[in-house]
Every structure is written in C-alpha cells, then in structure tokens.
Amino acid sequence: MNNFLAVSDDSKKFISVILVVLLLFVVLLGIIVESIQKYSKRKAKEIDMYLYDMCKYQLLSTPKDVIKYTIKKEIREFYYKNRWYIRIAFIVSLAFVLIIRFKYQNDYQLVKVVIDDLKFKLESPKSKFFFFDNFPVDWPVLTKRSVFHLDLIGYATYIELIVLLTLIIETFKNSLILKAKIIRVKNRAVNYFNTNIEDNDEKDKK
C-alpha cells in the first residue's frame, strides 16, 4: 500500500488507466472466445440437414455409420475450403525462396532486417509497484517507428507474411468448424434417425 501512496498523482492516474485497460482486455477476450464458440456451433448445424435426409431414406443405417460418413465428408470439405490457400501459399513461398536464392544469394538476414523494421517500440518510466519491480508509471513514448522497405526484398517479404498469415487464420477457423461438426455428430448420431427436426432443435436448446 505504501508503494502506491509513494508515487505521484499522475502516476496513480496512469496505473489506474492501465488496470482498466487490462480489465477491458480480459472482457474483450472473453467476448471473442464466446463469439468463436457460438459461430462454430452455428456452422456445425450445417450437417443436420443432409444427415436427417440420409437417415430418413435409410442411406445410413446406424449411428456408427452416421459418425463415420460425417467425419469423412467434413474432412474432405475441410480440404476443399483450404486447398486454394495452401496452393497460393506454396506458389508464393516458392517464388519468395527463388528471389532470395538468385537475387540475394540466400541472404535471409535481409528478410530478418525487413521484419525487424516493422516493429515499433514504446518505452515508459518504470518504478516499484507492490510485487512488480519495473511497473510502468507514466504514459509510454514512441522511441522507434516502423520502417517500410519499398524494394524487391521488402515487397516479397510483406506478401509472404500476408499470405502465410491468411493461411493460418483460415486454416484455424476451418479447423474449429470441423472440430465442432465432429463433436456435434458424435453427440447427436442417434437423434438423426428422428425425422422430426423441430423436436431435435428443442432438445438442443435445453
């Protein structure tokens, strides 16, 4: 408590703002996680329509068949959703490697420089605060700005980063959807033999 009283009023205000920002970050993170879960569950319901029909017309005869068929179908769908991202990433990465190989003689240190120059740096005065020896006590100051390289190595690196980041995001998103669909079919395999969709939807809500 004495550590908090020892700092200036401006520092107290700054620390209060930091704590509020951290609290808002935790709340925002919770909202994002909950939104992702709701989105995945909503997309998982896409399997219901074709499974109800296949069970209704006895194309699938047992819950085991339902699970096996759905997993096989959705894995194939997962591949179709990601194939162009994978292909584009492969082509761009190959072009990137060839540029580094023939234009810059395999000097990947240049790529590191381009990436490092994208970073910016903020620094703020620090002081002891409760259990923290180096806790920020004032507003940060921008001490290093991002620098963009408007040349071949710069453009090649930026495009490579964007393509890889897009691939990671899309693959992660589709992986969550695939996982949600597999969980849903395992939990509801027996229910698909009940052709009354409305009754099953009511069970979902309970």
Q: In the structure encoding, which two tokens stand for residue 152, read together? A: 């071949």
Q: How confident is the model at residue 31 (pLDDT cuts 50, 70, 90)?
A: confident
Mean of the per-residue pLDDT values of the chain: 82
Determine the average pLDDT of the residues in 165-174.
93
Name the residue with higher pLDDT: 179 or 10.
179
- Cβ-contact 57, 195 below 8 angstroms: no
Q: How confident is the model at residue 79 (pLDDT cuts 50, 70, 90)?
A: very high
pLDDT for position 167: 95
Among candidate residues 148, 172, 166, 161, the one with its CA nearest the CA of residue 93: 161
Residue 31 C-alpha from the chain's centroid: 14
Name the residue with higher pLDDT: 87 or 19.
87
In this model, does residue 97 exceed pLDDT 60? yes
pLDDT, tens only, 112-151: 999 999 888 877 766 666 666 666 666 777 777 888 999 9
Q: What percent of the chain has pLDDT over 70?
A: 80
58 to 50, 62, 72, 178, 184: CA distances (angstroms): 12, 9, 18, 25, 20
pLDDT for position 20: 79
Burial class from Cβ neighbours inside 10 Å (0-12, 13-18, 19+) for residue 72 reads: exposed
Q: How confident is the model at residue 14 (pLDDT cuts 50, 70, 90)?
A: low
